[in-house]
Structure 1
Amino acid sequence: MLTEQPIPPIAATAGSIAIALDFETASAAPGAVCSAGLAWIGADRRVTHTAHRLVRPHDMRFHPMNVAIHGIRPHDVEFEPEFPGLWDELLPHLEQTPLLLAHNAGFDIGVLRAALKLYGIEPPRLAYLCTVKIARAQWPDLPDHRLPTVAGHLGLELRHHAADSDAAACAGIALAAMAAQEKATLDESLPALGIRPGRLETGYHEPCSSSPERRAAFRRHRLPPWLR
C-alpha cells in the first residue's frame, strides 16, 4: 500500500535553505504528475522534514512502462486531488524557501513547468540546482551519476522511485557536497563546483548549468588515462 506523508505546516519549515523535489509521472503526457516527494534542508544542514503526496493526473492515463517503474496505478490516485491541490500546499513553502533541488533537474523542473502550464498557473520566482551536476563535479570517478549510484556511494538510504525517498537522497547529495567543500551553504559551494543555478519565473526559464571549464574537465576525466 502506498503511504502518504503530509506537507508540514509552513511554520515548521521556517529557516529552511532548500527543498528537494521529485516527481513520478503516469505517462509522457505533459504535466502527468502522479506522485510528488519533498525534503526540506534546515539551517542546521540536515534533512528536517519529508513529504509524499499522491496526485491524480488530469487525463488518468497510465503507461505500463511508468507503472513498472514506480508501481503507482490508477486506483491508487483515483480519489486524490489533481496538481492544483498539491500546488496550493506547496506554493507557500516555495515562497518561503525559493531554492529547489532535483536529481536530473531537467526532468523534474520540466514536469513542474508542464503541470503549471496545463492548469494555467503562473510559476513563482525561484532558483534550482541539479544534483546530477553537483555529483559529477564533486565525485567524477563514479561509474555514473544516477541517483542509486550516488546514494550508494554516500551511504544514503534509498527506495528508488518512491518520490519522498528520492527527494531525501537528493537533499543528502547536496549536503554531502557541501560537507566535502567545507562550506556552510550551497551558494558558497557553487563556484568551486562550477555550477550556475537555474532560474524560473513568469515568462522566463534558465536551466541549471555547469561552466564550460567544468564540462570539459568532466569529459576529460571520463576518458581512459592514456587519452587524457
Structure 2
Amino acid sequence: MLTERPIPDLAETTGTTAIALDFETASAAPGAVCSIGLAWIGGAGRVTHRAHRLVRPRDMRFAPMNIAIHGIQPHDVEHEPEFPGIWDELLPHLEATPLLLAHNAPFDIGVLRDVLTAYGLPWPSLRFLCTVKIARAQWPDLPDHKLPTVAGHLGLDLDHHAADSDAAACAGIALGAMAESGAAGFDDLLPRLGIQAGKLEPGYHEPCTSASQRRAAFRRQRLPAWLRQR
C-alpha cells in the first residue's frame, strides 16, 4: 500500500535550510508526474519533515517500464489531484527556502520545468544542487554514485523509488558531505567541493555544475569555432 504524508504547514518548517525533492513519473510525457517526495532540512542539520503525495498525471497512460521501477499504477492515482493542486501547497515552501536538492538534478529539475510548462504555470525562482555531484566530489572512490550506492555507504535507510524515501536519502547525502568535510553549511560546502548551484527562474535555467565541468566548458570555448562543432 502506498503511504501518503501531507505537506506540512509553512509555519511548521521555519528555519529550513534546504528541501530535497524527488519525482516519480508515469511515462516520458511532459506533465506525467505521478508521485512527489520531499524532505526538509532544518537549521540543526537534520531532516525535520517528510512528505509524499500521489499525483494524477495529465496523461494517464503509464509506461510498463515506469510501473516496474516505482510500482505506481493508474488505479493508485485516479482520484488524486493533478499537479497544479499540489503545486499550490508546495510553492510557498520553495519560495521560503534558499535551496532545493535533488539526486540527479537534471532529471528532477527537468521534470519540474516540463510539468509546469505543460500546465502553463511559471517557473519559480530558486537555487538547486545535484547531490550526485556532491557525492562524486566528496566520495570519488565509490564504485558509482547512484542513490542506493551512496545511501548504503552512509548507512541511510532507503526504500528506493518511494519518492519520500529517495528525497530523505538525498538530504542525508548532503548532510553527510557537510559532516565529513567539516563544512558549516551549504555556502561553506560548495566552494570546498568546487560545485556551483544551478538556477531556475521564469524562462531561465542554469544547471548545477562541478569544477571539472566548468574547466571542460572553458577549454571548449577557447577552441576555434570549427572544432567546437565537432
> What range describes the TM-score normalised by the shorter chain of this pair?
over 0.9
Q: Distance in 2 between matches of 1:94 and 1:191?
A: 23
Q: Distance in 2 between matches of 1:190 and 1:6?
A: 31
Q: Distance in 2 between matches of 1:15 and 1:131?
A: 21
Change (3 A) 1:213 1:114: closer
Q: Distance in 2 between matches of 1:43 and 1:214?
A: 30
Structure 1 residue ranges, 4+ long, deviating more than 2 angstroms after superposition: 212-216
Change (3 A) 1:121 1:213: closer
For residue 135 of structure 1, what is the aligned residue in structure 2?
135
Deviation string 1:11-59 (CA, Å, 9 cap, x unpaired) is 0001100000000000011121000000000000000000000000001
Deviation string 1:161-198 (CA, Å, 9 cap, x unpaired) is 00000000000000000111111211110011010000
1:25 aligns to 2:25 (yes or no): yes
* Alignment TM-score, normalising by the size of structure 1: 0.93
Answer whether contact 2:29 2:59 (CA < 8 A) is retained. Answer: no
The alignment partner of 2:172 has SS state of helix
Q: Distance in 1 between matches of 2:49 and 2:214?
A: 32
For residue 4 of structure 2, what is the aligned residue in structure 1?
4
The alignment partner of 2:170 has SS state of helix
Q: For the aligned residues, what is the CA RMSD?
A: 1.2
1:68 aligns to 2:68 (yes or no): yes
For residue 201 of structure 2, what is the aligned residue in structure 1?
201
Q: Which amino acid aligns with 1:185?
A: G
The alignment partner of 1:183 has SS state of coil
Q: Mapping of 1:26-65 within 5 angstroms?
A: 26-65=26-65
Q: Mapping of 1:1-228 within 5 angstroms?
A: 1-212=1-212
Answer whether contact 2:99 2:128 (CA < 8 A) is retained. Answer: yes
Q: Distance in 2 between matches of 1:101 and 1:123?
A: 16
| Count of residues paired in the alignment | 216
> Structure 1 residues 207-216 or 28-37, which shifts more?
207-216
The alignment partner of 2:132 has SS state of helix
> Structure 1 residues 206-215 or 134-143, which shifts more?
206-215
* Aligned-residue offset at 1:199: 0.1
Change (3 A) 1:211 1:68: same
* Alignment TM-score, normalising by the size of structure 2: 0.92
> Structure 1 residues 187-196 or 205-214, which shifts more?
205-214
* Aligned-residue offset at 1:211: 1.1
The alignment partner of 2:171 has SS state of helix
Structure 1 residue runs without a partner (length 5+): 217-228
Q: Distance in 1 between matches of 2:163 and 2:40?
A: 14
The alignment partner of 2:173 has SS state of helix
Answer whether contact 2:31 2:119 (CA < 8 A) is retained. Answer: no
